[in-house]
Structure 1
């Protein structure tokens, strides 16, 4: 049904929300205060016309905006955008009954995202490479993306050539490309094992494209140069497809917030440590135990530590912290615990921390909901949430990260 609507507020995903008598209607790409015409189906509205635009509406920077699903907020003026992202954190904490000061949003986009995943699908005779369309599994071909770092300028063309070479199997592919100090680092998923003929062809293509490293499902096909990343004083080669913060400035910003919150002390635990973005920086001041379930990430961290002079000791432990969180007697010897779990949070570990004698906990989160849940556990265990800082390294998306600092006196 075609309706004229007035937008009341922004939702968590950036949709304009109309509070209608029958319930909320979500209209993508509409802004608060705007009068719009939309085709309404249930609780969803498809924007047809902006009758009276908001003063906070600006022109998008990309011609694919609203078609490509990668960005949700290119139409928001900076002031509205910053407050929308900050308010996501404020609202989520409030709903969980968590009271804490929330700082202004910190812009950590920097030069742009250093990692991107292209999807490749066969359509007729051609392999189409691009990003998923908004709210769809359809592909939008992409020749360039304005939110990517300059080091990824060649990434769309490289992804297309790799997809063309892999397309004979007619399988959907995900091609993850990361900008490194040595050039492009590529990990492909979806094809399955490679035969000798295809492996040789891909090795030759990696030479032609001047890739630093090419991998298939995490298995290295060819490494022409180590794809090194700066992490504090260290240079580290993450494992193929391994986790890496989205932007260089994002990693630096999160790490600076972590190190600024470190207490005086000798020993720190870095849980869900990845390949060490926080461990290396903490080790400039304290001894570190880095714990992570990914063995390859732990090996990369250990190798980086061995090649970096001037740091205090970093020990590593490969351990699944969801199934085997550090227990109270293991935690109590640390002056501070830093944790950066995946989107699911760290529920099991938070319970053990709440029962421990650890005085300071610094929690880096990529999901405000799981952070709020774990924060409630820590607060119930005697911690005070000193403050939360939201960080934006996924510009124009609905995604926001944060750093929360918990402190308390020792028990007993």
Structure 2
């Protein structure tokens, strides 16, 4: 056993101790703590905390330490949020970018409206729902979850009954993507074995019956609707949008509102705005309260939902939407002609091809929304090299007690 002094928290959320043999990573530890553990290949195992940090707080989840979902739940709010801000600064620094970074926008517990619940067959034969264990494929059963909307938590027992039908094949490893919408639960299931013929007719019948007993609004299998008692709906600005089966939705409404607010404020005064990687219209509809919007996304279902949502709102400027793969066929300066502002919210991989096209437009304002500070910084460098200035960045703590950081960056020529 070795005694270690934790100096900092690394990018993956582990405490880091510097030793003559190199850095040692220790899960669930904090800067300033003295710990003892068995060091194997640069990791400390069987950790005992000898001297706790004054910033250590009591975790609130009964699964803490075993569940891999909340690796920073033991850290006081102030230093935890500042650490997330620092991760953004470090990512930008790697691209030699300096800018004003706002304090991290916090989100409260009990507000997560979207969860991915893994389902497995327990030792007693019943269906078990939960999250992956820390650094393991093992499933941790979850009966309570402090980050989730309580309405989702209350549905866990009924959702386990729904999951049971999808465990028909021994090779199936179903994941229930559960979303709380204005009209109730939307459940899309992935990970069902297909090579052996997929879900049988009997299993489908049992799944639908369980979903009806659970009062699920819609049940789908990899985007294919199995049952729809009600159309799952969400509000984007003034519009009511029917969420596509398996479609993307920001995980926390408060985080979404913080990002939308900053994007809308940044583009005010523009005569025309582009919203790229628009999904079903998270930013499109609020932006359309300011100026006409051109929207584009690779999802046909998302664009169809956006177009249908236009009919539900009043007082908006014109919206035109196009289904288009912005990685293979990015919007060009010609496509974006007349757009004085561009908002783009790409997946984790970023959007280097689309960013290069944005840089070549005459837009005076660009708003980048990202769930990955590293790819954001890479894309930001393209815009800066083209004559933009990164005015400010706002980190958003959408995924509470995790290492993930969302952000909004505002660029001006």
TM-score, normalisation: structure 1: 0.96
Task: Give, in angstroms, the shift of residue 338 of structure 1.
Answer: 0.2
Q: Give runs of aligned pairs for residues 98-247 of structure 1, distance below 5 A.
A: 98-109=97-108, 111-124=110-123, 125-170=125-170, 171-191=172-192, 192=194, 193-247=198-252
Distance in 1 between the 2:206 and 2:401 partners? 38
Structure-2 residue corresponding to 1:92:
91
Are 2:393 and 2:407, in contact at CA under 8 Å, matched by a contact in 1? yes
Quote the residue 1:367 is aligned against. Answer: 372
SS in 2 for 1:265: coil
Which residue number corresponds to residue 249 of structure 1? 254
Please state if 1:333 is matched with 2:334.
no
Matching residue of 2:72: 73
Separation (CA, whole Å) in 2 of partners of 1:123 and 1:150: 24
What CA deviation, in whole Å up to 9, does each residue of 1:180-212 have, x standing for no partner?
Answer: 111111011122444333333222222211111
Question: How far apart in 1 are the matches of 2:144 and 2:78?
Answer: 27
Q: CA deviation at 1:47?
A: 4.7
2: CA distance between counterparts of 1:155 and 1:297? 27
Q: Aligned residue for 1:395?
A: 400
Distance 1:68 1:241 in 2: 25
Question: C-alpha distance in 2, partners of 1:292/1:379?
Answer: 24
What secondary structure sits across from 2:101 in the alignment?
coil
CA distance in 2, matches of 1:144, 1:337: 41
Deviation for aligned residue 1:165: 2.2
Kept in 1: contact 2:155–2:214 (CA 8 A)? no
Residue 59, structure 1, aligned to residue 58, structure 2: yes
* 2:313 paired residue number: 308
| Unaligned segments of structure 1, at least 5 residues | none
What RMSD in Å do the two structures reach over aligned CA positions?
1.3
Deviations 1:247-286 (A, max 9, x none): 1111111100111111412211100001001000001111
Tell whether the 8 Å contact from 1:257 to 1:403 is kept in structure 2 after alignment.
yes
* 8 Å contact kept, 2:109–2:146: no
Q: Point out where structure 2 has 5 or more consecutive residues left out of the alignment.
A: none
Q: TM-score, normalised by structure 2?
A: 0.96
